[in-house]
Structure 1
C-alpha cells in the first residue's frame, strides 16, 4: 500500500483480500492502509503496545485472521490504540468479537449480514433435501460400486412442517426457498417479524410460534441463530427429546448452538432421522458419531463459499471501512451494539 503518513487516518487490514483488490487499493485515497497477513496474537499485542498502529482509526478483519490475533476479546481490545474507533468484520456471524468491551471503548463493530443470505440459504436447502433423502447412503454406495446399496426410502417435503429457528435475513431467505418445495412454514424469533405478509406475497406466510411449540411440532428444523451466551447449547438432550420422532435437523448457523454429543445420541436412537450440517461444535473437529452415521449429510462450513458471495462480503467490508473513515459511521453496524450503547 502507500507510504505511511501520520497526519492521515489509518486503516489496518487483518488478513487477505481475495477478490475486490482494486476496491481495496482505492482505500488509500482516503487513509493510510496497512495490512497484516501473518503473525501471532503475542506479536500483535506487542506491536499495539509499542505504538505501531497509533494512527489507526479503523480495523478490518477477515474470519481467518483469528489465526493472527485470536479472538477480539476484552484482553485484546484493551491493547488497541485509543485512536481505533471502528472494527469491521467479514462475516454475518461475529462471535469472534466480544462486542461489550468494544462498546465500552466506543469502538463500533460492523458485520456483513445481507451479503451472505442467499448463499447460506441455498446451502440450507441443499442440506435439507439431502437429509430428507438420507443422501449420503446412496452417494457412498455408488462410489463403492454398489449402485443403490441399502438406500432407504426418503421423505418428500410436500406438506411437512418446516420450523425456522431464527427469522433474520438467512432464515427468511431459507423460508422463501422452502415454499417452492411445498413445506408448511413456521418460525421462532425473539419477537414476531414485521412485514412477512408482504415479503411472501400473502402466500404460505410463516406462522410465529413459541420455541417449545416449534420444537414439538416441526418435521424439519433449520437453525439460523447467531451464536452468543443465550444460544450456546440451546438445543441439547432435553430439547431434542421434545421434538417429533423422526425429526430432521439442519444447521448452517454455528455448531455450538447444538450439543453435538446429544445430537449423535438422538441420531443413534432414531429420535432424529437425519441431519444436514454445515457447522460443528468444535470445528474443524467433527464428532466421530456424525462421521460414521448414515443419516448425516455433512459439509465443512462452506455456506458462503462461492466467488460471488465472497466478493460481495469483501466489498461490503471495504464500503464499511470507507464510510467509517469518511463519514464517521458504519453502513451495517451490529444491532447488538446499538442495544449495548444505550446502556453505556
Structure 2
C-alpha cells in the first residue's frame, strides 16, 4: 500500500486534530494529506462523485465530523471512490459507521479501544458515586444558599451489588475501580470473559450472570455496551420491571441502549432511586423529566473529555492510518471485521 516514490497515497482527514498536531503533521511524510473541516453532506457526496478524492486510500474521521458528512451509512459508503480501503474512526464506539456496507466494499474500519478505557471508567465511577449520594440535591441546595437543604442520606458501595452490563475494556476498567470501593461485582456479556482474574489481582473477581439475573439482583447497574441492532432499546419498561425497587442506573455507553422515556417514568415513580447519565437517547436533546428530577446526576457526554485521553485517541487514529498505508492493515480493526480463528 506504500505507493510509488512520485505519488504518495492519499489520506483524507475529516474534522479537526486538536491535540496530536505534530503527529498529524508528520503524516505528510508518507501520504498526500487533505483535510476537510467544514461543509455539508451534499457537498461531500458531490466531491466524491466528481473525483476530488480519487487518490484517497484512507479516511480519518473525528466523532464531530458527523456534522460535516452525516453518518457513514450505506448511501455515503456507496459514493466513496474505489481507492478507499480504510476508515480510521476516532472513538471506541463507532455507531456513526455502518460496518456491513464497508465490509461489502472491502473497506476496513478501525476504532480507538483501550485509549478511552480509563477516562470513561473514571466518569462511570464519578456518576455511580454521585447517584449513590443523589449529589445534585445537596449541590443545588448549596448554590441556592440553603446549605444541605433537604439532602437525603445516600448509600455506601460496600453494602451493594454492582452489575456491569458489558465487560469490554471500559466495563473491566469500571469494575476494577468499583472493586476497590467494596462493591460486590457481577457482570453480563455476550459470553463470559476468559482470564478476567488477571485484571483484579487480590480484588474479588466479578461473577458472570445471565442478563435477567443481573437485572433482578443488582443494586446498581452500569451500562458499557456498544450500540448496535442487538442493543438498541435493550433496556425498556419490561427490563425496568424486573429490577429491584430503588435500583440505580448509570450509563456512559450510548443513550439509545436505554428507552429514555421508560427510564424517566421509572425514576419519577420511585422504581429507580437515582440515575447517573453521560449519554442520551437523542442527544443533545434530553428528556425534560430527567433534567427536572432531583435524583438525576447528568453530564453532557464528556466521558473521554480529558486532554490526555483526547490526545491518546488522536495518536491512535493517526497510527492506524500509518499502519494502513505502510502495512496494509489496521492496528485496531473493529471486531466485526476481524477474522474468526477456528478452534483446534
TM-score of the superposed pair, with normalisation by structure 1: 0.97
1:166-205: CA deviations, max 9, x gaps?
0000000000000111100000000000111222115310
Secondary structure class of the residue paired with 1:153: coil
8 Å contact 1:6–1:55 — kept in the other structure? no
8 Å contact 1:57–1:84 — kept in the other structure? yes
Query: Counterparts of 1:235 and 1:248 in 2: how far apart (Å)?
Result: 13
8 Å contact 2:92–2:111 — kept in the other structure? yes
Secondary structure class of the residue paired with 2:310: helix
Question: Aligned residue for 1:267?
Answer: 267
Secondary structure class of the residue paired with 2:248: strand
Q: Does 1:32 align with 2:32?
A: yes
Question: Aligned residue for 1:80?
Answer: 80
Which segments of 5 or more consecutive residues in structure 1 lack a partner in the other structure? none
Query: Counterparts of 1:303 and 1:199 in 2: how far apart (Å)?
Result: 22
Which segments of 5 or more consecutive residues in structure 2 lack a partner in the other structure? none
Query: Counterparts of 1:233 and 1:245 in 2: how far apart (Å)?
Result: 21
Query: Counterparts of 2:274 and 2:112 in 1: how far apart (Å)?
Result: 31
Please give the residue correspondences for 1:211-230 in structure 2 after superposition, counting only pairs within 5 Å: 211-230=211-230
Question: Aligned residue for 1:176?
Answer: 176
8 Å contact 2:220–2:248 — kept in the other structure? yes
Secondary structure class of the residue paired with 1:158: helix
Question: Aligned residue for 1:295?
Answer: 295
Query: Counterparts of 2:47 and 2:196 in 1: how far apart (Å)?
Result: 49
1:281-303: CA deviations, max 9, x gaps?
00000000000000000000000
Query: Counterparts of 1:198 and 1:61 in 2: how far apart (Å)?
Result: 34
Please give the residue correspondences for 1:93-242 in structure 2 after superposition, counting only pairs within 5 Å: 93-242=93-242
Range with greater deviation from structure 2 (241-250 or 193-202): 193-202
Query: Counterparts of 1:297 and 1:85 in 2: how far apart (Å)?
Result: 42
Query: Counterparts of 2:202 and 2:75 in 1: how far apart (Å)?
Result: 49
Query: Counterparts of 1:289 and 1:268 in 2: how far apart (Å)?
Result: 8
Question: Aligned residue for 1:55?
Answer: 55
1:195-243: CA deviations, max 9, x gaps?
1122211531000000000000000000000000000000000000000
Please give the residue correspondences for 1:304-343 in structure 2 after superposition, counting only pairs within 5 Å: 304-338=304-338
Query: Counterparts of 1:6 and 1:115 in 2: how far apart (Å)?
Result: 35
1:289-342: CA deviations, max 9, x gaps?
0000000000000000000000000000000000000110000000012269x9
* Cα distance, 1:6 vs structure 2: 7.9
Query: Counterparts of 1:203 and 1:258 in 2: how far apart (Å)?
Result: 30
TM-score of the superposed pair, with normalisation by structure 2: 0.97
Query: Counterparts of 1:6 and 1:63 in 2: how far apart (Å)?
Result: 33
Query: Counterparts of 1:89 and 1:290 in 2: how far apart (Å)?
Result: 31
- State the superposition RMSD in angstroms: 1.4
8 Å contact 2:164–2:171 — kept in the other structure? yes
Query: Counterparts of 1:39 and 1:223 in 2: how far apart (Å)?
Result: 35
Which portions of structure 1, spanning 4 or more consecutive aligned residues, are displaced by more than 3 angstroms? none
1:48-78: CA deviations, max 9, x gaps?
0000000000000000000000000000000
1:103-156: CA deviations, max 9, x gaps?
000000000010000000000000000000000000000000010011011111
Query: Counterparts of 2:333 and 2:153 in 1: how far apart (Å)?
Result: 46
Question: Aligned residue for 1:67?
Answer: 67
**Count of aligned pairs:** 338
Query: Counterparts of 1:65 and 1:197 in 2: how far apart (Å)?
Result: 39
